[in-house]
Amino acid sequence: MRFPKLRVGLFMVAASVLGYWLLLAAGDRLGPDPGKVLVDWLGQGALTLLLLTLSMTPLRLLTGWPIWIACRRQLGLWSAFYAFLHLLAFLTFILGWNFERLAKELLERPYIFVGFVALTGLVPLAVTSNRTSMRYLGRRWVRLHRLVYVILVLALLHMLWVVRSDLGRWLIYAVPGVVLLAVRFPVMVRLLSLNARAGKPK
């Protein structure tokens, strides 16, 4: 394992933040609607971790330091975990595990559907985030994990709908998200072009 102390440090920070939030909720210190606050915090935490995950490759290219890539997988897994807890908190505190209401909300509220699609997209990325899957899937692994940029767009759209009356808060996440997408866009276009050429019959 490369940079074990860094990995342990990342684990402790992500786990400590989550534990602190849960302690605040358990101590009734999140205001009159602690469930909603926890849902919001978990969603914003998941998006923050996703942005950090996507920033690791550009930082690696800028600095040449391999330490950034050592952080990427763990940050991505924590992002998926926070997103799962975001859904779990939503089901528990907002819907009360009423699946009939969930089906209605998915149909009537686009932001919930978009968020659900984004979370669903994170599942295969988290499951295949290991060397065994990389070897087994080969080039397909790279194609699969490019979906993370689509997931980022969906997550930002989901948040925009949720906090539409507070665009300033949304821009805190949207600006770095757009920068990351802009940085990666030329690379994606080049890769798609190479794939298209490779697929043409000679």
pLDDT of residue 174: 97
pTM beyond cutoff 0.85: yes
pLDDT digits (tens, 9 = 90+) for 141-180: 988 998 999 999 999 999 999 998 899 999 999 999 999 9
Write down the residue that tokens 């990351």 correspond to.
180
In this predicted model, which residue has the larger pLDDT, 148 or 190?
148
pLDDT digits (tens, 9 = 90+) for 59-81: 998 898 888 888 899 999 999 99
Is it the case that residue 186 has pLDDT exceeding 70? no
* Alpha carbons 123 and 131: distance in angstroms, whole number: 17
Domain boundaries, the chain: 4-199
* Alpha carbons 147 and 54: distance in angstroms, whole number: 12
Is it the case that residue 103 has pLDDT exceeding 60? yes
Average pLDDT, the chain: 89
In this predicted model, which residue has the larger pLDDT, 87 or 193?
87
For residue 147, what are the CA distances in angstroms to 42, 67, 71, 165?
22, 24, 19, 29
